Amino acid sequence: MSFTQLLVPTYTQMLKALWGWFEKAQDQMPEAEANALLSARLAPDMFPLSTQIRFACVQAQEAIFRLQGETFPPSLGALVDEGRNAGQQPGSFADAKARIDETIALLEGLSPSALDTDPGAPVAHELPNGMVLDLTVEQYARDWTLGQFYFHLMTAYAILRREGVELGKADYIPHMFPYIRPDTIPAD
């Protein structure tokens, strides 16, 4: 399996699920209450929901540019800064959904082999604290970007659940429904 075949569908389907979680939150509560969720945290020392959304988008976008050997565009730096400052400026659900839409559009605009590169090629990934991870492309895709993406995605899911948004497993994996054998669907 190529990196494009692994990462692009994974990021796309899970970002679409995240978008759906916001739709459910907006359907279940008044707009002001839904927007207030963006400041919710799982723990005092964790980033709020608004940051989790942006950082999930950052992980997908970083991988796109890194695996294509491209310099990060200013828009990615702006998204990172927006995420870091989201505790003070969480924005709205419309803002969050716009970031998700931008990331999905970027993913859907890629060619079928856009991220396919030498799995053993070196990747030096610098963390905000100055530490550098020396990885191969394969290690970066498998051990870093997917793990970080799912961390922020699951933290967003957990915040929404804790704050009372009625979400379940079906909301987490709506992309799996087309694979269900019709004759195995339980009757109500």
Task: Please list the alpha-helical segments (H only) found in the chain.
Answer: 3-28, 31-36, 49-67, 74-84, 93-108, 137-139, 146-162, 169-172
The structural domains of the chain, ordered by start, are: 11-115+125-180 (1.20.120.450)
Average pLDDT score, the chain? 94
Q: Which residues contact 167 (CB under 8 A, 6 or more apart)?
A: 21, 24, 157, 160, 161
Q: Full-prediction pTM beyond 0.85?
A: yes
Q: How many CA atoms lie within 13 A of 155 on its CB side?
A: 23
Determine the Cα–Cα distance for residues 17 and 177; give it in Å rounded to an integer: 12
Per residue in 56-114, pLDDT (tens digit) is 999 999 999 999 999 999 999 999 999 999 888 898 889 999 999 999 999 999 999 99
Q: What is the pLDDT of residues 116-135, one digit of tens each?
A: 999 999 999 998 899 999 99
CA distance 29 to 90: 18
- 16 exposed, middle or buried (CB, 10 Å; 0-12, 13-18, 19+)? middle
